[in-house]
Structure 1
Amino acid sequence: MKVNTSDWRCVVRFVVLVVSVLWIGVSTAAFAEDEASVKRWQPLVTEGAPHKRHEAAFIECDGRFYLLGGRRIQPVDIFDPKTKTWTQGAQPPIEIHHFQPVVMGHQIWLAGAMTGRYPREKAVERVMVYDTRADEWSWGHTIPEERRRGGAGAVIHDGGLYLVCGIRNGHWDGWVSWLDRLDLATGQWEQLPDAPHVRDHFQTAVVGNKLYAAGGRKTSGVTKEVFSLTIPEVDVYDIDRGEWSTLPEESNLPTPRAGCFAISLDGRLLIAGGESSGQKTAHNEIESLDPETNQWETMSTFSTGRHGTGVIYYEGSLYTAAGSGGRGGGPELNTTERLPLDR
């Protein structure tokens, strides 16, 4: 029997078409399932709103949320999560921006900050203190002149304030890999081993007894590379051993960016928001690292991407507010978002 090759070609084409349709269907279903597993934050309807600002700080203290600093001198914005109401507090004595806040009792300490105008902002000489009960600002510990910088990560852990990396000359140059510890009992600064990588415009967090430096960049106005020199590597400082290490390349931050926020939650490291040269809008990703496996996953996404603010965990939900919705200085935001967590 003679076989008609054109018939066979039709059969083969039909089989290929069926397989392709089935594959697309399976892939689409898997993609939809992955998308559904990534939680999306929701805008929160509030009474009043904070001032539009970025390069600021957002932190919880005694059950209230505080939005502090940012470009220009602006009052503290205070959020009550029970009533969903924004009110105002006192203005700081100077413009202060590019810092990660820490809580000490009922005070909020701001260390490793900048002041002044772009692109050669100056490092603030001392720790600034905001007393949440008195609604008053004051000056705290002096930072050694040879170790001053802005855009640094800061965290309080086990009786010490740790100040990580940063940049000495605003957005121009002077990137450092320094790690310093302020003994909260004695007020003395100690220089600890340098991190493996320089970085600025980032936040740090402690998970277990290890300090994580993830995100950030080498801000280089001097070479006109302000946004592009992001740092994908994740550096880890073992506080007990006093040693740094870098996670394997496959554990690099999946979405390298700066101006992002860090928080430790349920034994994981969360890196949220940020900006990069790859897109004009601010990033909305919240990526989560499991320190046991060193694997990242996208945990959730903001409703509106933002950088230059912070993330708070409080009573079963994550919160963020303000920041910049685009790369660089704007548009500045005054919105509040929340993500309830199933735990």
Structure 2
Amino acid sequence: MKALIIALLAATSVVAAEWETLETKGQPNPRHEAAFVEFEGEFYLLGGRRIQPVNIFNPETKTWRNASKPPIEIHHFQPVVHEDKILIICAMTGRYPNETGLEKVLVYEPKKDTWSWGDEIPKNRRRGSAGVVNVDGKIYVMCGIVNGHVGGYVNWADRYDPATGEWTKLKNAKHKRDHFQCTYLDGKIYAAGGRTTSKETNQVFDLTVPEVDVYDIKSGAWSVLKDDLPTPRAGNSTATIGQDIVVAGGESMTQKEAHAEVEAWDTLKEKWHDYPPLKQGRHGTALILHKNCIYTCSGSGGRGGGPELETTERLKLSK
């Protein structure tokens, strides 16, 4: 049975020829450094520079609609769904380059379209632009940056329990990084992409991190993939697709346009391979896997803050 499940999951790694730009009813608010997450079959676009309303996408009707605004500007975060809530943990607020990390967890309830403040984040663990995943009700918060875009990137790892509010320090990651995302597969958390942002040395986009760190939840140990990310970049979207760890889009000093590359680490064959590139390169957004399709939207089409995009893309996976 286990072999059959692995075979079925691996089958979803076979992809169609290209991404398509969807014709939608309405469009999301153009934004970047935002979050894109699924809740009960609909997609929620949250945050981004400036105070932005939540945009909700129905993939069946291809319709966008607006919901409420957060109580504060939030950007540079990877949200997680927990029970009937979307949790925003270690986000930034404020303007470039002196943004600050939120002092508390921010909670959005999609069914009520309401915002509220949750547990306090320990003062010495506050940061933004971290990778965050939910594994069996425990929230793992990896790396990030303490002082906006000025500096203070870290390799911290924490486990947060939303049931008790408890934060637990874990073993530090192998590499410091910010502007990246984490994803989970088979007992392991993958930290891929990102950079060590340093406005204080005028190296905001330069110092990308090619190594991919892997955290084994059971052993509490970190390791590094034997092969680096083929196209190092930050501001990327990262997701688990079948047995693949997929890294899409991003920004770097190698080009002014946002990256369109979509590269995947095959965890069974232990090697990188390419997915079709995005129709429009973008950074500062995310990927959603839904009914054998990958979706993305929003983000910035160039290195830095613009142009902000309002398009929605989809890649159908073939079996």
Give the TM interval when normalised to the shorter protein. over 0.9
In 1, Cα distance between the equivalents of 2:47 and 2:256? 24
* Bigger fraction of residues in helix: 1
Alignment-derived partner of residue 105 in structure 1: 83
In 2, Cα distance between the equivalents of 1:293 and 1:223? 40
In 2, Cα distance between the equivalents of 1:322 and 1:67? 8
Alignment-derived partner of residue 114 in structure 1: 92
Alignment of 1:339 with 2:302, yes or no, is: no
Question: Structure 1, residues 103-124: CA drift from partner, whole Å, max 9, x if none?
Answer: 1122111111100000010011
In 2, Cα distance between the equivalents of 1:134 and 1:198? 37
In 2, Cα distance between the equivalents of 1:294 and 1:149? 32
In 2, Cα distance between the equivalents of 1:137 and 1:300? 37
Alignment-derived partner of residue 162 in structure 2: 184
Q: 2:224 aligns with which of 236, 246, 253?
A: 246
Q: 2:66 aligns with which of 73, 76, 88?
A: 88
Alignment of 1:50 with 2:28, yes or no, is: yes
Higher RCO by CA contacts (8 Å cutoff, separation 6 or greater): 2
Alignment-derived partner of residue 289 in structure 1: 265
Alignment of 1:318 with 2:309, yes or no, is: no
Q: CA RMSD in A?
A: 1.0
Q: Shift in Å at residue 38 of structure 1?
A: 7.5
Give the length in aligned residue pairs: 305
Q: 1:77 aligns with which of 41, 55, 69?
A: 55
**Structure 1: tracts of 5 or more residues without a match:** 1-36
Larger Rg: 1
Q: 1:41 aligns with which of 8, 15, 19?
A: 19
Alignment-derived partner of residue 212 in structure 2: 234
Question: Structure 1, residues 49-94: CA drift from partner, whole Å, max 9, x if none?
Answer: 0000000001110110000000000100000111111000000000
Question: Structure 1, residues 4-44: CA drift from partner, whole Å, max 9, x if none?
Answer: xxxxxxxxxxxxxxxxxxxxxxxxxxxxxxxxx88321100
Q: Shift in Å at residue 264 of structure 1?
A: 0.8
Q: 2:280 aligns with which of 280, 295, 304?
A: 304
Question: Structure 1, residues 271-330: CA drift from partner, whole Å, max 9, x if none?
Answer: 111000000000111111012332111112110000001110101111011100000000
Q: 2:182 aligns with which of 185, 199, 204?
A: 204
Alignment-derived partner of residue 264 in structure 1: 240
Instruction: Please tell me whether the aligned partners of residues 62 and 106 of structure 1 are also in contact (alpha carbons under 8 angstroms).
Output: no
**Structure 2: tracts of 5 or more residues without a match:** 1-14
In 1, Cα distance between the equivalents of 2:185 and 2:244? 7
Secondary structure of the corresponding residue to residue 222 of structure 1: helix
Instruction: Please tell me whether the aligned partners of residues 16 and 317 of structure 2 are also in contact (alpha carbons under 8 angstroms).
Output: no
In 1, Cα distance between the equivalents of 2:92 and 2:35? 13
Q: 2:111 aligns with which of 133, 140, 144?
A: 133
Alignment-derived partner of residue 15 in structure 1: none
In 2, Cα distance between the equivalents of 1:246 and 1:293? 16
In 1, Cα distance between the equivalents of 2:31 and 2:246? 23
User: Could you state the TM-score of these two structures normalised by the residue count of structure 2?
Assistant: 0.94
In 2, Cα distance between the equivalents of 1:279 and 1:110? 31
Match for 1:333: what amino acid? L
CA gap of 1:38–1:296, structure 2 versus 1, over 3 A, is farther
Instruction: Please tell me whether the aligned partners of residues 16 and 315 of structure 2 are also in contact (alpha carbons under 8 angstroms).
Output: no
User: Could you state the TM-score of these two structures normalised by the residue count of structure 1?
Assistant: 0.87
